[in-house]
Amino acid sequence: MIKKRAFPHLLIFIFGLLLTTSCIDPYKVTVQAEQSYLIVDGTITNSDELPIISIFETNEASNFKSSQFTSTISPKLKDVKPVTKIKVRVIENETNTYNLSEIQPGYYQMPIGFAGKIGNTYKLEFEKANGEKFASSLEKMLPVSKINRVFDTFNSTGIKDKLADGGQISSNDIFIDFDDPSKEKNFYRWKWKSFEIQNICETCKQGRYFRSQSNLGPSGECKIDTDLEANNVFDYLCDSFCWDIFLSNKLDIFSDIYTDGLAQKNKLVAQIPLYQSNPCLVVIEQYSLNANAYRYLKLLNDQSVNTGTLADTPPAPIKGNMSNLSNPTQLILGYFTASGIEEVRYMMSRKNSRGAQPNGIFRYKNKRDYVLESTSESRPNIPLAICKSSIFRTPNSPKGWQFGIQ
């Protein structure tokens, strides 16, 4: 085993840890951490969607795996933990202060009504319970080019997915056109997220689902029933429309150093796994990057791509732009930045797709059909499950969703 400190690629995949990832190739490198590391990731944008900052830390002796098959390096889910109940704030133009609220363990959101502005500067600061204070560099929000066209094609070969038969799943590949401004250096980043209809909102193992009502509103939970077999499962339909949210887990960046001022055509920006034949909404996000942010992400990308064979240099930590104010030598992973954003919400009908089934997400994830609880004398009415709002699920119709599209 090669002993080395933890590699910070988690910052790119922190939202994708719960998504399906690739299988492991025989040529793999295991990197063992010697201490814990803070990992900070977040971007302030001029979008109307409130920015979220994630703050996590690795456990000591975390194992990070790399392989030629995945071309990625990330820790196991059990090897990271959220940093909770800390004071987090963003300072705009070194004068205006915005206090963030913790919406889920480790995830901190800007206050309602916040909107970033092109040309403004932003700085992230937070303080842990033990009094340690941390701050980022000052980041300026730069403008970004508009997207002129979006289109998709069906890719039967698709992408790697560990849950898929044979390790591959078909995909809908999305391409864009945009114009690059001339006589200036421009750096870009692309992300995507997709909203897929989900009709199962709870699974109870050796138990049944119960609803209740309180002053805080409706709630639901699974309660153990010892009369059921230990391996018995019941799945419960959602009580409303419900969307599962999938996030890109690939680092996609670009510099116009060789294409300054040229129109960019047919740029591949997303490969959406074909989990089901239902239409889905894909949000394409095009970001501007400053030179330092691009340089950092390029180092991450190069290290992840070049790691995976026995001849490669083992991965090593790359310092981001966060500092411990009382201990400047502490290595903090991840990067906080500000970026102009061009967003396109693309409703994809999937008419050109083949091989997927309607409402197939549950079966794909669980490798079985759902099992509904039957009515009985003691349970004449089976409750519907609440679609619980989270980073990965929402009961609220996403902006741009078109009902009735086929």
**Considering the chain, what percentage of its residues have pLDDT values greater than 90?**
68
CB count, 10 Å around CB of 3?
10
Place of tokens 């979220």: 52
- Residue 403: CB atoms within 10 Å: 7
Phi, psi (degrees; rounded to nearest 5) at 192 = -145, 160
Any idea which residue has 């939970």 for tokens?
221
Residue 252, strand partner residues: 190
In a 13 Å sphere around the CA of 329, the CA atoms on its Cβ side amount to 0
Q: How does pLDDT run across 309-326, given as a tens digit for each residue?
A: 434 444 566 788 999 998
384 has a pLDDT exceeding 70: yes
| Cβ contact 339:288 at 8 Å | yes
Cα radius of gyration (the chain) = 23
Q: What is the tens place of the pLDDT at every residue in 207-253?
A: 999 999 988 889 999 999 999 999 999 999 999 999 999 999 888 99
Structure tokens at 281: 């909404």
CA 239 distance to own-chain centroid? 26
pLDDT at 280 over 80: yes
Burial (CB < 10 A; 0-12, 13-18, 19+), residue 42, is: buried
Query: For 334-354, how does the pLDDT look when each residue is reduced to its tens digit (9 = 90+)?
Result: 899 999 999 999 999 999 999
| Domain edges within the chain | 2-142+289-339
Closest CA to 200 of 166, 149, 237: 237
Q: Is the pLDDT of residue 29 over 50?
A: no
Q: Does the pLDDT at position 73 exceed 50? A: no
Closest CA to 104 of 84, 77, 124: 84
Residue 28 above 70 pLDDT? no
pLDDT digits (tens, 9 = 90+) for 350-370: 999 999 999 999 999 899 999
- Dihedral angle sign, alpha carbons of residues 36, 102, 345, 273: positive
* Average confidence score pLDDT of the chain: 85
